[in-house]
Amino acid sequence: MKLRLFVTRDIPDEGLKMLKKDKRIKVEVYEKDEAIPRKELLKRVKGADIILSILTEKMNAQVFDAAGPQLKMVANYAVGFDNIDLVEAAKRGITVTNAAHPSVSESVAEHTIALIFALIHRIAETDAFTRAGKYKAWGPKMFLGTDLTGKTVGIIGSGAIGSSVVKRLHDGFGVQVVYSDIKPNPALEKLTGAKFLSKEELLKTADIVSIHVPLLPSTRHLISTKELRLMKKTAYLVNTSRGPIVDEKALLKALSAGKIAGAGLDVYECEPAIDCDLTDTLELRKMKNTVLTPHTASATIETRQAMSRTAAENVIAFLDGKTPLNIVKTK
């Protein structure tokens, strides 16, 4: 009898083709190109031996109960795994994997740098201005931005993505790089000359602050009012990691009051909502000193296919009785 694998949303085809070729499993995919409603998810996972989930689905005791005791694995189609209750999974003997792949780091690093340039060269503002037919004549003081060359970029988190950002900035744009992490990264320092600082010193020093840490209890609201007050008024904040790492309310107030120059965001605290509090007048979408993208930092054909293959490879390795390359465990 074949094992049942339920995919909570259609993903790029290369991984699905690999799974469908495996005669040990029957693959079922949620048909609609939208986040699966919770009620529907609980119904569809019933009897599943393996769930291939994406980051919008909370994989917790409720889902595990709905699936049944035969559930053996949750293969997450994401690098992050904050949507999965790892403790509960471990209690039930459920193997959890993520879809980490080197190309993810490259794509997110590129997107991060794109946000930096969009902010400092005011690309979104000038695009809207031009499309609105407001460009009537060239002016020497029109939409003045700032150069990246000669600036100090601060990276919070020197893992694969943060390191990729540092390497690109060091090799291509003549910037000074400082970084903060739970411990120094000697290899990165040797390669790029990056300087290790405390988070507080980094915030005081950097002209651009870019966040590259996972969402953990210890990193929730890692950047809040206190941290934003340490930043220069001319500094920019970029977040391509997870939304709740930045206290959105504090950020809105800082942007509105001119405490920092701007922010480039690919993730949001109450995602997919762009604002957590709709009762006030502070809206990210109305702020001209922001560049906003819809959690698409890894959204390239190459990377999303690589993630698809990685998720499938994790499942196949598990079925082969091997330890999946991307296994996730509680710390």
Positions marked active-site: 242, 271, 295
DSSP state of 223: B
Place of tokens 């990165």: 188
Query: If you search the block for the tokens 């902010």, which residue do you land on?
Result: 119
Q: How far is CA 232 from the centre of its chain?
A: 25
The DSSP bridge partners found for residue 211 are 156, 239
Residue 3, strand partner residues? 25
Q: What are the Cα distances from residue 176, in Å, to 93, 124, 186, 260, 262?
A: 47, 26, 16, 20, 20
Sign of CA dihedral 209, 210, 213, 218: positive
Burial of 88: CB neighbours in 10 Å, binned 0-12, 13-18, 19+: middle
- Report which secondary-structure segment, H or E, holds 76: strand 73-77
What is the C-alpha separation between 218 and 173, in angstroms, rounded?
A: 32
3-state secondary structure of 16: helix
Whole-angstrom distance, CA of residue 233 vs CA of residue 258: 7
